[in-house]
Amino acid sequence: MTSEEQKLEQKPVFKVSSFQYQNANKKKCVWKGLKQIITSEKALPWPDHCVHYGSINAPPSFKPPEKFSDLSGLPAPYTDPQTRLRFANKDEYATMIDLPMDITAGYLTLRGATSIVG
């Protein structure tokens, strides 16, 4: 019980001492994440004119994404079929083929190009 006492002592004076987060069954509170909040908000029957957090997301891009080299960031006309990395010139290619797997995988995840289909 000592820890409980300590907690009470530490509580700043300006706080209402009785206040405590708890559920009905006195379990520790689990906070909903933003995604959960959005989905539960969406499920409600809002009037038509209402806008809420989940409805103002930016639209998907309508422009085709440009291709940039994973290593240098330069415009990349080529893709290595083995590693799927993009590269801009032969010097980059030379360094690229020496890269270990974890680095090439790192570049791909950074670009979000890890799906097998893409």
Partner 1 sequence: MKNYKLIYIVIFLCLKMELMEFTDTKCTPDIIHTYSSSLKNNSVPLVIDNGSYICRVGWSVNESPLLQFRNLIAKPRKERLKKDTIEVPQTPQLQIGNDIVNIETMRFQLKTQFDRNVVTHFEAQEHLFDYTFTHLGIDTENCVNHPLILTEAFLNPNSSRQLMSELLFECYGIPGVSYGVDSLFSYHYAQPKPLENALIVSLGYQTCHVIPIINNQTDFENTRRLNIGGWSIITFLHRILQLKYPAHATAITLSRVEELLHTICAIAPDYKEELMRWTNNDYYEQNIKKIQLPYTSASNALTLEQQKERKRELARRLTEINARKREERLAEDQEKLRQLLEVQEIIDFGAEKDEVEQILTEFELKNVQELQKAIGNLNIRIEKTKQKILAASNIEEIEEPPVKQAKYSKMVFESDSALHSFLDNAKKMRQEIVTRKLVRKQRKQDIFKRRTAAGQERMRIISQLARKEKGNDDFGLRDEDWDIYKTISKDGGDSDSETENEKLMELEEILRIHDPSQFEEGVNLGEMHQLHVGIEMYRAPELIFKPYMSGSSEAGLSEVIGYVLSLCKPEDQLKLASNVIVTGGLANLPGLRERLLKDLISIRPFKSEVNICIMENCNLTSWYGAREFTRKGDYSKYLLTKNVYEECGHEYFKEHLASNVYYPTPKEITIDVDT
Site residues (vs partner 1, CB under 8 A): 3, 12-17, 19, 21, 29, 31-34, 37-38, 40-41, 44-47, 49-53, 56-63, 65-66, 68, 71-75, 82, 97, 103, 106-107, 110-113
Cβ closest to partner 1, residue 27 vs residue 59: 59
Burial code (b: 16+ CB inside 10 Å, e: under 16) for 17-44 equals: eeeeeeeeeeeeeeeeeeeeebeeeeee
Cβ proximity of 79 and 85 under 8 Å? yes
CB of 9 to partner 1, least distance (A): 13
Alpha carbons within 13 angstroms on the beta-carbon side of residue 80 total: 23
CB of 15 to partner 1, least distance (A): 6
One-letter amino acid of 107: Y
Length of the chain: 118
Cβ closest to partner 1, residue 21 vs residue 25: 21
CB of 35 to partner 1, least distance (A): 8
CB of 27 to partner 1, least distance (A): 13
